[in-house]
Amino acid sequence: LSVVYVPTDVRPVGRALGARFDSTLDERLEQSRHVGAVRTSMLQDLLAGKPLEIVPLTGMIITLGRLVSVPTPVSETVFALVSQLDRENQR
């Protein structure tokens, strides 16, 4: 599952809540290619054995999607997978 698919949930939820997006997904992906090697905070937490921030990040997209009746299948899948990883990481 690629992070490329996550905005397919985020953008429709954002739009339903009145957000405007000034760039396309392809433009944002192109911009990210120039950032270089980075580790997200969630990856850093995973590697350090710390609890993952899955609820405030991905969980919020799911919650907001439900509020505005927008399906969030990618976020729900990511949430389930990362939650399982988090449980295993905390053992």
Q: Which residues in the chain come in under a pLDDT of 70?
A: 1-5
Please report the pLDDT score of residue 90 as a whole number.
83
Please report the pLDDT score of residue 1 as a whole number.
52
Question: Which of 81, 79, 85 has the alpha carbon at shortest distance from 60?
Answer: 79
Pick the CATH number of 3-89 from 1.10.3470.10, 1.10.10.10, 1.10.1040.10, 2.40.290.10: 1.10.1040.10
Tokens of 85: 């990883």
End-to-end CA separation in angstroms for the chain: 24
C-alpha R_g of the chain: 14
Tell me whether residue 83 is exposed, middle or buried, using C-beta atoms within 10 angstroms of its C-beta: 0 to 12, 13 to 18, 19 or more: middle
Each domain of the chain, given as residue ranges in start order, spans: 3-89
Please report the pLDDT score of residue 85 as a whole number.
92
Tokens of 48: 């350090």
Please report the pLDDT score of residue 2 as a whole number.
57
